[in-house]
Amino acid sequence: MTSSTVGSVDADDEEAQAVDIELAEIFRRYKDRWVAIAVTKRDKNMQPARGTVIADDADRYRLRQKLISTKEACIFFAGEPQYPLLL
Partner 1 sequence: MVEFSFRTFPEVFVGLKGRNGGVRECSALVDPCSEYCIMPKVDAYALGYPEAANDDPVTPADNTLTYTSFDGYGKAALIGIAEVSFGGFSFPNIDFLALDLPQVTMFDVVIGRSLLKFTKLEIDYLTRTLRIVEAKGGAAD
Contact footprint for partner 1 (CB under 8 A): 34, 39, 45-48, 59-61, 64, 67-68, 71-77, 79-82, 85-87
Please, which residue, 16 or 74, has the CB nearer to partner 1?
74
**CB 7, min distance to partner 1, A:** 14
What is the rounded distance in angstroms from the CA atom of residue 87 to the CA atom of residue 64? 23
**CB 43, min distance to partner 1, A:** 10
What is the rounded distance in angstroms from the CA atom of residue 19 to the CA atom of residue 86? 36
Q: Is residue 19 within 8 Å of residue 52, measured between CB atoms?
A: yes
